[in-house]
Chains A and B, each alone.
Chain A
Amino acid sequence: MAIDISDRPLPADRAGSPQLLLEVDNLHVEFRTRDAVVKAVNGLSYSLSSGETLAILGESGSGKSVSAQAVMGILDSPPGFVTNGTIRYRGENMLTMPEDQRRKIRGRRIAMIFQDALSSLNPVFTVGDQIGEMFRVHLGMSKKDSRVKAAELLDRVRIPSAKDRVKDYPHQFSGGMRQRVMIAMALSLDPEIVIADEPTTALDVTVQAQIMKLLSDLQQEMSMGLILITHDLGVVADVADRIEVMYAGRVVEEADVGDIYARPAHPYTEALLKSIPRVDMKGQALSTIPGTPPNLARIPAGCAFHPRCHRAQAICATDEPEFAQVALGRRSRCHFWPEVLDAQR
């Protein structure tokens, strides 16, 4: 008999010592299409504690969004399938629990913020209706009460004159305001974990700064675990505690935020850091990573990064590197990580 986690009371003191909330272990996700099997996530493992910000960094097609969808249980299936691994929320494997139980966790304990707020909001309902839906569906509130709650939430994400704006439709909001509505919706039921999938990619920098500040303020207030999925190394440096760098469906490097920027231990991270221009530095020739990210239906043998790697040797094309421990809490999936690390001195 499975225990219904969602009815367990929330721990009284959430600001106390960090608790392990989520453990993802050896997660595999593939998409079975007519032509090929696309291996989007190949053995992803990470853990998240309360109050922590974990950044999942990767380019398009690295599997970062798909892994988040798998954790949320919103993977399009078919064609997407979780073929291996476990996802534990407070020790319970979410992949084996019955759907009705998982549904109680989704939205209530683990919430998600999507990249494109305009297409994630329903254009024919007011934002008040859409935020209120969380309360009606999960808590069985009346329509009237849920609208009051929705106004409170809009106020909390600092939307001016929230009471009037609950009656507005998504198109009446600007991009930044829409993203605030998305955040309000995600936070409505006091989740313990929020997964933000590229929350600011579609926004201008000044608005991005507003939204990131709002997110980190709210996170501290509520002591949530935040998973930030992004390709922006700048945003990560500003807010994350730990980083998982993904490439071709695998984590290639895992480290605390300070270590990874100061001394990367994987050639991909190293190259990525060197290939971005910085606003506080004068232009010099950018070093680039040759080639393009691999097609996930045909991931190169051995180390998936070897065709683009300037350190690649014969062994890289044949043997897949282990996820070696570099230091405590720090791992790199490269045969030559000591050399990479030494080169940064």
Chain B
Amino acid sequence: MPSDEVILEVKDLVKYFPITQGIVFKRKIGDVRAVDGVNLQLHRGETLGLVGESGCGKSTLAKLLMVLERPTSGVAEYKGDDMYSLSGKALRRLRRQIQIVLQDPYTSLNPRMTVGDIVGEPFEIHPDVAPKGDRRKRVQELLEVVGLNPEFINRFPHQFSGGQRQRIGIARGLALRPEIIICDEPVSALDVSVQGQVMNLLEDLQNEFDLSYLFIAHDLSVVRHISDRVAVMYLGKIVEIGTEDEIYETPTHPYTQALLSAVPVPDPTLRGLRNQIILQGDVPSPVNPPSGCRFRTRCWKAEDLCAQEEPLLVVRETSAGHPSACHFAEQRDVVHAQAEADVEHIEVEGSGESSVDSAAHTDDASTAAVP
């Protein structure tokens, strides 16, 4: 059960990757603004879902929280200690507490190592967790915990199916008894019938070991199922955050609404009865994000104000009680069936294509057609 204790806190986290030109004399010609001012809190025992389209900075944020990347600015605190000021032994101790489960179980396991070596490798780096003679037994215990036969310890990854490989990845993540596990798209490479098994396993493990999850995924149904709270990310910023119910039942940011309405529901009787918002184009380039609100180039509500002033992620009068980064936040039901007469179809006109020239972001997609 989620508690009030904040275990991880991120404040104004920024990560820019420089773009350089030239071979001998490298000149910096710009930045990819992958993460651009993110504030988050992760509580003990909770699952915080992080959703957004590809390229919005979800995985960069995961790497920052693993201290695999150092931020351009901003801080992340683990139980009040700044993670980025640590080095050496202290950093190694921190790494024990924050582990990751990666997306692709086919490429994240070394094909030349046995399962026992893969799951036991964390013990080589942190020998004090399990003394040498004990390790094999510990690995077998871990395999059992994730629902694999402990006798499989000498097998190689190719002898397992996708779901079983993901279990191996989870066992490796659990080896050091971490408090936080960052799950970066842990089920998106799996078949539907196997997805459920892995999600149930993650939930069981959370209860058993009091784990906190940052659950990154692009599948919004999966995130709803597993999360206590959900943050929606767009172009390096969080645009809306709230409990699972707040985000799915009363979304107030246009991007969240568009994202949710785009998720197909497996029920043909709802066909044509859900509010539908079809965006045009793709996410603009993070090299030169639009001024003001970053979503305005694809938004049907955008006005002049949106280009001039960046909306802050705060609770607004119209934002249904949770923070929303939109000047015109307004709740709209996009997941449930509506009465036939009330169904809205919003199709955003214009290209929505990002152009490298930010001047082109003026008003190419600000008109909405509501037939």
Contacts and interface: CB of A to CB of B under 8 A. Distances in A.
A291 B53 CA distance: 31
A287 B264 contact: no
B94 to A, nearest CB: 31
A279 B265 contact: yes
Nearest to B224: A279
B179 interface: no
Interface string B238-271: 0000001100100000000011111111111111
Interface residues on A, range: 35 or more
A305 to B, nearest CB: 11
Given A204-B54, A261-B267, A292-B163, A283 B226 contact: yes
Interface string A234-246: 1111101000000
Contacts of B191: 59-60, 231, 292-293
Contacts of B200: 285-286, 288
Contact of A176 (B195, B196, B199, B282): B282
Interface stretch (B74-82, B109-117, B214-222): B214-222
Nearest to B271: A238
Interface stretch (A16-24, A116-124, A205-213, A316-324): A205-213
A236 B271 CA distance: 11
Interface residues of B, number: 50
Contacts of A207: 53, 282
B193 interface: yes
B194 A292 contact: yes
Query: Main SS of the interface on chain B?
Result: helix
A278 B265 contact: yes
A276 B336 contact: no
A280 interface: yes
Given A272-B192, A288-B200, 13 more contacts: A176-B282, A205-B218, A206-B262, A237-B271, A240-B268, A257-B268, A271-B193, A276-B266, A278-B267, A279-B265, A286-B200, A288-B196, A292-B162
16 contacts: A207-B282, A209-B264, A235-B264, A237-B264, A237-B271, A272-B192, A276-B266, A277-B221, A277-B222, A278-B266, A279-B248, A279-B335, A280-B336, A283-B225, A285-B200, A288-B200
Interface of B: 53-54, 161-164, 191-197, 199-200, 218, 220-222, 224-227, 244-245, 248, 258-271, 276, 278-282, 335-336, 351, 353
Interface of A: 59-60, 160, 174-177, 204-210, 212-213, 231-238, 240, 257-258, 261-262, 271-273, 275-283, 285-290, 292-293
